[in-house]
Amino acid sequence: MQNVMEELLASSAMARLEPGQVVKGIVTEIQQGDVLVDIGAKCDGRVRLSEFGDAHEIQVGQEVEVYLEKLEDSNGAPVICYDRVQQQKNWERIATSAEEGGTVTGKIKGKTRGGLLVNIGVDAFLPSSQLDILPTKNIEQFIGRTYEFKIVKINRERKNIVVSRRELLEEERRTKSQELFERLRVGDLVKGVVKNITDYGAFVDLDGVDGLLHVTDMSWGRVTHPNQVVRVGEELQVMVLDIDREKGRVSLGLKQTTSNPWDNIEQRYPVGACVKGKVVNLVPYGAFVELENGVEGLIHVTEMSWTKKISKPSDILKISQEVEAVVLGIQKDEQKIALGLRQLEDNPWDQIATKYPVGTTIHGVIRSLTNYGAFVEIEPGIHGMVHISDVSWTRKPKSMEEVFKVGDEVDAAVILVDLDGHRIALSVKKLAANPWLGIDEHFKVGEKVEGKIVKITNFGIFVELGMGIDGFIHIGQISEDRVDRIRDLFNVGDKVTARIIRIEVANQRIALSIKALEYDATELQREINAWKNVSAAATSNGGGQSEFGTLGDLLGTDETNA
């Protein structure tokens, strides 16, 4: 009878329950993960323990309000929810008291599309962009943490709330920035975190103020890129170099936190001292050597060897190579140190004037040829030059290749020693007597001579007379008849007989004539006089072309001697 009455009472209570109601119940049991609540139904309903927040606040016998979602599940138990009631109460409280722009405390529950869910008493939406000041790739690290949030938007009809943590951080940052700007002074040492790195420097967060650490202020030494010195996220102690409060800019220095290595540079690297360093850069004009952090010296290409002509520093030095050098000079204000490699060795030119005084005969090897001369190696690293005009007393070659080739051994006389310019001038012809000085003893005007044709040009013939001296027969002196083409009458190597009609020692010229061979004394004198007048007229006209020709005509030919 009693069981029947209980069932009737239960049925009566069940009849009053409807889904969607908020009902009161009594906690009957707390199990692992669940709380059993009696709401007057056939069976107790179950609520997840996590919905109560703090499990220590729930006790058996405690009255709670729950939301009835369904009268019975598959087991006949009611489906109830505690969190939904609290959400509804909290929403009513927040809707009444909270305003857009207000601040609330909330705990990040988890991820959702486009952002995170935050429990501020009700679920609020936190867009990913409003999570932090800096973009955050790993938003999972924030789940489960409690923060202050700013209410950005409330939609009461849809019961939506959008919050932002970023806006609060930016407001806090602006406040700190203003306070920091007010107390910052040039010369202050401050700590900051590297926020961003560019090609020209790094931006450092000074707890609300971004300062620029320029690449030139990172180190006293050479820095090609900021990432050689700093990295994002690194904490630095820097010095305030400049403050522009109007534009909100702060210039920072890292190297200024240490002493300037150039302050006592003369004491550490006196002129003449031998120093060691590492090659850090090679340029066309020399090599930069790091002596210590922040101190570099330049070895100019001209200071690399006493005797060798260095066209590129990379021919003898390499990056990172350890070298020794001598300090040649210091410009402290410009932070420059001049170094020398060759000063580590004795200068061979210091002994040159003693070893090879003017008049000395040297024996050397031709190492190179140019249009104007030949360079002769006198000893390793020491070269002298034979100019084209110092090859022969009697003949001027068109190019040095006509006389020498590289590798030839040659004797020459020293005619000039220029120690400052490191030059030695040599002469081959000075080793022989000048045949023109006693030319009158061997050749006289009017006498007959015999010689071999060595050159034929369009305007005359050059004849070797001996002693290295050539005579010249102009085309008009070949015959009384007109000669149009000399090669029709003569060949190189032919022997010819002619008469001397003029000798010019100063100009090293001998004029010959074939047609004068048969002249009597009167005719010969007339030809000689006529030649004098032609030569004088050519001289007065500024050295124009005459019937005489010159030794230079031996070179400027229209026909070859082949």
- Please tell me whether residues 249 and 281 are part of one structural domain: no
CA separation for the pair 91, 215 (Å, rounded): 54
Pick from 209, 229, 257: which residue ends a domain? Answer: 257
- Please tell me whether residues 332 and 356 are part of one structural domain: no
- Please tell me whether residues 480 and 543 are part of one structural domain: yes
- Please tell me whether residues 361 and 376 are part of one structural domain: yes
pLDDT given at position 77:
87
Distances (CA, A) of 234 to 197, 198, 221, 256: 11, 15, 20, 18
- Please tell me whether residues 460 and 534 are part of one structural domain: yes
- Please tell me whether residues 444 and 546 are part of one structural domain: yes
Tokens of 498: 């002619």
CB 313 within 8 A of CB 287: yes
Inside any domain, residue 179: no
Inside any domain, residue 91: no
pLDDT given at position 177:
72
The neighbour count for residue 120, using CB atoms within 10 Å, is 18
Per the structure, how many domains does the chain have? 6
- Please tell me whether residues 447 and 540 are part of one structural domain: yes
pLDDT given at position 560:
41
Tokens of 310: 């260095």
Q: What is the CATH number of the domain that holds 250?
A: 2.40.50.140
Per-residue pLDDT of the chain (562 residues; tens, 9 = 90+): 445 445 544 554 555 788 878 889 998 888 888 888 888 888 888 888 887 766 677 888 888 888 888 888 888 888 888 878 877 777 777 766 667 778 888 899 888 888 889 888 778 899 988 888 877 778 888 888 999 998 888 887 777 889 899 888 888 877 777 777 777 888 888 888 898 889 889 898 887 778 889 988 888 777 888 888 889 888 888 888 888 877 778 889 888 888 888 888 888 889 989 999 999 999 999 999 999 888 899 999 988 888 788 888 988 899 999 999 999 999 988 889 999 998 888 888 878 888 888 888 889 899 888 888 889 988 887 888 999 888 888 777 888 888 888 988 999 899 998 888 888 899 888 888 787 777 777 888 888 999 999 889 988 999 988 877 888 999 989 888 888 899 989 999 999 999 998 888 877 888 999 988 888 888 788 877 777 665 555 544 444 444 444 433 433 344 444 3
Q: What is the DSSP annotation of 372-401? A: SEEEEEEETTEEEEEEGGGS-SS---SSGG
pLDDT given at position 319:
92
CA separation for the pair 525, 537 (Å, rounded): 18
Inside any domain, residue 69: yes
Pick from 431, 465, 492: which residue ends a domain? Answer: 431
CA separation for the pair 234, 97 (Å, rounded): 43
Q: Do the bridges between strand 210-214 and strand 249-253 make them parallel or antiparallel, or are there none, so unpaired?
A: parallel
Inside any domain, residue 176: no
Inside any domain, residue 372: yes
CA separation for the pair 456, 478 (Å, rounded): 12
Could you list the residue range(s) of the whole structural domain that residue 228 is in? 184-257
- Please tell me whether residues 452 and 529 are part of one structural domain: yes
Inside any domain, residue 175: no
Q: What is the 3-state secondary structure (H, E, C) of 411-468?
A: EEEEEEEECCCCEEEEECHHHCCCHHHHHHHCCCCCCEEEEEEEEEECCEEEEEEECC
**End-to-end Cα separation, the chain, in angstroms:** 153
Q: Which value, in Å, is the radius of gyration of the alpha carbons in the chain?
A: 54
Inside any domain, residue 464: yes
- Please tell me whether residues 46 and 23 are part of one structural domain: yes
- Please tell me whether residues 8 and 72 are part of one structural domain: yes
Question: Which residues have CB under 8 Å from 243's CB, separation 6+?
Answer: 181, 184, 185, 186, 249, 250, 251
Classify 325 as helix, strand or coil.
Answer: strand
- Please tell me whether residues 227 and 124 are part of one structural domain: no
- Please tell me whether residues 62 and 143 are part of one structural domain: no
The neighbour count for residue 18, using CB atoms within 10 Å, is 10
Give percent helix, percent strand, percent coil of the chain, each to the nearest 5: 25, 40, 35
Inside any domain, residue 178: no
